[in-house]
Amino acid sequence: MGVALLEKEKRAPQSPRSISEEEFEVWCGEDVKAEYIDGEVIVMPPSSIVHDSGEFALGVLIGLFVKKNKLGWVSASGMVQARLRKGLRRCPDTVFVEKSRMRIVKSTYVEGAPDLVVEVVSPDSVLRDWHEKYREYETAGVREYWIVDQQQQRMEVYHLGKDRRFHALTLRDSKFNSRVLSGFWVKPEWFWGNSDFDYYEMAREIGIIA
């Protein structure tokens, strides 16, 4: 397939179709949110206001915590691809890579498993986030996977054990405490309800800001 045709499609994303990973790299520009699964292109639909607000709030909290403690690199745009293996690229809502592994952060994607990923479930991504990505992140070696399902008012945090399998963390005092980001925690109840998330107050309660 010629580059000119790919450039034309890049300006106007089409429905998923089969292309090579190399063609996908050329086609998928910075303004296109798309995932790649063994030849299939999945163009992601626009987020709802509630989904976008929840994704932003949790991403802001993680970003502030990582920045304050100089732990590494975070992207909460939902646009950064994680190349989990050859032929598999996903766009987690939030991605964290610890500073000792910064070599995997490339100019346009993350090469390999991030240390922590977050997915905020939307109506069209229920199966994808709870099942498909769960297996893919586990197999790739992502150390911690956070899933926030606002519609079902359900949050789960999975940590990768020594057996290379995900194990669900339990709530302690109504909080989920991260093992990858030691000292970081959130209350699931913060993310239920409307889209007016007071992440400033959340950050204060966590202790990120005074």
More confident residue, 154 or 45: 154
Position 195 pLDDT exceeds 70: no
Q: What is the pLDDT of residue 154?
A: 95
CB atoms within 10 A of CB 27: 22
Token couple for 26: 């050329």
Position 2 pLDDT exceeds 90: no
Question: What does the domain layout of the chain look like in residue ranges?
Answer: 3-43, 49-206
**Rg value, the chain, Cα:** 17
Which CATH number is 49-206 given?
A: 3.90.1570.10
* Half-sphere exposure for 124 (CA within 13 Å, toward CB): 7
Q: What is the pLDDT of residue 187?
A: 96
Q: What is the pLDDT of residue 31?
A: 78
Instruction: Find out whether 209 and 188 touch, Cβ atoms under 8 Å.
Output: no
More confident residue, 1 or 84: 84
- Region for 81 from its dihedrals, namely left if φ exceeds 0, alpha if ψ lies in -120 to 50, beta otherwise: beta
Sheet of 72-75, strands arranged across? 72-75, 94-98, 116-120, 144-149, 154-160, 166-168
Q: Whole-number mean pLDDT of the chain?
A: 89
Position 14 pLDDT exceeds 60: no
Which secondary structure element, helix H or strand E, spans residue 165, and what is its range? none
Which has the minimum average pLDDT: 27-36, 154-163, 165-174?
Answer: 27-36
Spatial distance between the Cα atoms of 99 and 87, rounded to a whole number of angstroms:
26
- The one-letter code for the residue type at 115 is D
Across 16-37, average pLDDT: 86
Across 146-164, average pLDDT: 96
Q: What is the pLDDT of residue 196?
A: 75
Instruction: Find out whether 95 and 68 touch, Cβ atoms under 8 Å.
Output: no
Structure confidence by residue, pLDDT tens digits, 44-64: 877 665 556 767 889 999 999
Q: Which residues pair with 88 in a beta bridge?
A: 37, 85
Q: What is the pLDDT of residue 193?
A: 72
Across 137-145, average pLDDT: 98
